[in-house]
Chain A
């Protein structure tokens, strides 16, 4: 569940290049967005490109399938999928293509990437497009809808959304005489109780300065459950607040008690499969891989992510959105918008969710008969989808990626015993604040 790993060097080069691009190349094309949404002339043939990271397994085959369905319904539109192996490479490719003046028509993006592109004036504002059919936007989960805006302008459209859930081994919980934790406080108690005889409650990937990972997200949720999210809504980091320090102290204490272990490349999944880990707190899309890892050795159970002490469910929207580049022709923009809307139609979302494990982005999908059958077999989809209504994504600001790396480095450092939680977070706060200042 590595959120996005891009080397700092490439990111630095890209930001500089994008800044230059924003100052020059695309200004001539940026006017069309503010003049209302373009329409595609009937029968006119057009090809659009979609830079994405759905390059393997079910993600690849399903995206190809729904794209073919779209093309058969819209024979004048061809969608060229440009699959990249991972989000890091995808970002490098988009950065390079934008800098070269040849961006794709649309691309999968995280909010902070989109913020940087919007700052460089290479994105097409979608507000006018969505105004033509407000029900499309209003039909989305509230949390999803909120994640699409940058400074109150609609720049993104949802695509592959997920939320965190708790995968666990019920046999190991039963053997220790405990139940699945309801709150983070419960979790700390249960984690210590089950961690014995070579079994670790929660293996996590803390991430590093080059990028946050699944463990960083867990830490962020714990901080928010304590009362303070690691970023304010305006993207200001608040890493050194007492609630964030307390969350890191909890993780450090759990590590000292042998209930948390650090690793890389999905350590929760690996340990769960080896029956050496009890919990894997990961996105709903990990269900397939966790099932494969377990391989019938026990019945994999899924619960909501632990809540705050007062029972409030706190979750984080993961996954990416789709954005449109203003370099595209009006015909391409109109065709791309049609494709983007097709991707979020209830029927498409149902098919996509069932094949990939991502969550539907609009609640209407859950009412479809085939989706009801799917939910009957995978009940976790209901509570994970509900979390999309009440959760938020990482704030869409250009510096957030670098700041998240600083936070991950602090987590790594404190868990390794190289610094106290307070000192590690103080250092991360200073670096993140500097990154914010530099980007503003």
Chain B
């Protein structure tokens, strides 16, 4: 009786999970169908649920922008940003969690407050700063401002707090300094959190759009999202080729997620100390 009840409960849970999963998949499926539709079919009502196999949309989309260059730029910008974010998150997270200094909590709250400021407000002052530093229209302006992540600092601090103090006491007795403790003891223990921060940063970098558009003017240094704009105009949108481009620009990030999805989950749990 109890087993049957458990089995039934499990069945309901799976059914609900499948419905929720399908609800999230539906927009993606819609994009794929649109990417293979004729332009007239995009607006058909009721909508078609079977593709029209217009592969020419993909060739049109591919020839509309230098995608390989955009891919390379995006990977380069994303990788550099991730490296910087991981380094700064470990350093700041360790300092806020393990080091004692005057104004530590006030400084930490100040860092958190940065999250509350809408990015839109900062665009013009940031542009002026970038202009003064001669960073406009460079790779640097797409990397440096994102080299520290409040989310990363917060996540790492929470994790480092949960590590038993004895480990650091022992390391200190063995002569380890703060940098060594941060990078050789705390850092490796925080691997799931670091992967989560890295993935989030990489995805943020992959999706960057307005910032590179405002801060750069040369196509050869711009990232992939800028290329998608080739189909979105001030008077209307070319939905079929845009959808085709969305499909092939999304595939790399989906593959990355599929390979590393367990770290998203474990990384989130690790902030509460549930996974060590």
Interface set of A (CB-CB < 8 Å, partner B)? 1, 7, 9-10, 13-14, 17, 53-57, 59-60, 80, 82, 84-87, 89, 92-93, 95-97, 99-102, 265-266, 269-270, 272-276, 283, 285-286, 288-289, 292-297, 357
Contacts and interface: CB of A to CB of B under 8 A. Distances in A.
B233 A59 contact: yes
Given A273-B40, A273-B43, A295-B40, A95 B236 contact: no
Given A56-B232, A96-B214, A266-B236, A294 B40 contact: yes
B241 to A, nearest CB: 9
A223 B214 CA distance: 37
Interface stretch (B70-78, B116-124, B144-152): B116-124
10 contacts: A9-B118, A54-B234, A59-B235, A86-B234, A92-B124, A99-B124, A265-B237, A288-B235, A293-B39, A293-B43
Nearest to A2: B234
Given A276-B45, A292-B40, A96 B236 contact: no
A8 to B, nearest CB: 9
Contact of B128 (A55, A87, A100): A100
B231 to A, nearest CB: 6
Interface in B123-146: 123-125, 127-128, 131-132, 136
A270 B237 CA distance: 11
A295 B235 contact: no
Contacts of B127: 96-97, 99-100
Interface in B186-241: 209-210, 213-214, 217, 226, 229-238
Nearest to B232: A56
Nearest to A93: B214
Given A100-B127, A266-B236, A296 B40 contact: yes
Contacts of B210: 89, 92
Interface string B225-267: 0100111111111100000000000000000000000000000
A272 B236 CA distance: 14
A283 B235 CA distance: 9
B230 A56 contact: yes
Nearest to A84: B213
Given A10-B123, A17-B124, A100-B128, A82 B234 contact: no
A50 B214 CA distance: 14
Given A56-B230, A99-B124, A286 B40 contact: no
B128 A96 contact: yes
B63 to A, nearest CB: 12
Contacts, number: 120
A13 B117 CA distance: 13
B149 to A, nearest CB: 22
B270 interface: no
Contacts of A85: 209, 213, 226, 229, 232
Nearest to B118: A9
Interface residues of B, number: 35
A96 B124 contact: yes
Given A59-B235, A99-B124, A269-B43, 15 more contacts: A1-B235, A10-B124, A14-B124, A57-B231, A59-B233, A60-B230, A80-B217, A87-B234, A92-B124, A92-B210, A283-B235, A285-B236, A288-B236, A293-B40, A295-B41
Nearest to B39: A292
A274 B39 CA distance: 11
Contacts of A270: 43
Contacts of A57: 230-231, 233, 238
Contacts of B79: none
Contact of A96 (B123, B132, B234): B123
Contacts of A292: 39-40, 236, 238
8 A-B pairs with least C-beta separation? A295-B40, A273-B43, A289-B236, A96-B127, A274-B45, A100-B131, A56-B233, A285-B235
Contacts of B123: 10, 13, 92, 96
B124 A274 contact: no
Given A100-B128, A100-B132, A295-B39, A55 B233 contact: yes
B221 to A, nearest CB: 14
B158 interface: no
B161 interface: no
A86 B236 CA distance: 11
A295 B120 contact: no
Interface string B37-52: 0111111110000000
A75 to B, nearest CB: 23
B126 to A, nearest CB: 8
Nearest to A198: B45
Contacts of B226: 85
Contacts of A55: 229-230, 233-234
A425 B38 CA distance: 43
Contacts of A95: 124
B235 A10 contact: no
Contacts of B233: 55-57, 59
Among B38, B210, B217, B234, find the residue whose CB has the most chain A CB atoms closer than 10 A.
B234
Interface string B140-184: 000000000000000000000000000000000000000000000
A95 B131 CA distance: 13
A109 to B, nearest CB: 14
Given A9-B118, A99-B127, A274-B44, A295 B234 contact: no
Among B42, B44, B235, find the residue whose CB has the most chain A CB atoms closer than 10 A.
B235
